[in-house]
């Protein structure tokens, strides 16, 4: 792993966490479960926000290209009218 811990050390720490939760009994389980749910919800919210921002940027780029095309056509017509 990149943090310098071996997989065995990580699994040992995780096992220790599970043992601590078991020793606290039911309240410890619910606290851990609620923390995990919050983490999943935060992760989902961040992912959703990134998707929405990317979609908005894509639509914004397409709109900008449309405006540029329309502006070029208007300039072209204005030059033709001047002639």
CA 12/CA 18 separation, integer angstroms: 10
53 sits in which H/E element: helix 26-82
In this predicted structure, what is the pLDDT of residue 4? 56
Total number of domains constituting the chain: 1
Compute the average pLDDT of residues 3-29: 72
Angle between helices 7-24 and 26-82 (to 10 degrees): 120
Structural domain boundaries, residue 40: 7-82
Q: Is residue 59 in a domain?
A: yes
Q: Is residue 2 in a domain?
A: no
Q: Is residue 44 in a domain?
A: yes
Compute the average pLDDT of residues 51-67: 82
* 3-class secondary-structure state, position 5: coil
Q: Is residue 1 in a domain?
A: no
Q: What angle do CA 42, 46, 52 make, to 5 degrees?
A: 140
User: Structure pTM?
Assistant: 0.45
């Amino acid at each position: 792993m990149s943090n310098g811990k071996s997989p065995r050390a990580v699994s040992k720490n995780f096992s220790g966490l599970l043992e601590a939760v078991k020793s606290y009994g039911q309240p410890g389980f619910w606290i851990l479960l609620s923390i995990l749910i919050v983490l999943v919800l935060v992760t989902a919210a961040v992912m959703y926000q990134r998707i929405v921002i990317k979609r908005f940027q894509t639509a914004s780029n397409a709109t900008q290209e449309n405006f540029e095309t329309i502006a070029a056509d208007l300039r072209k017509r204005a030059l033709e009218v001047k002639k």
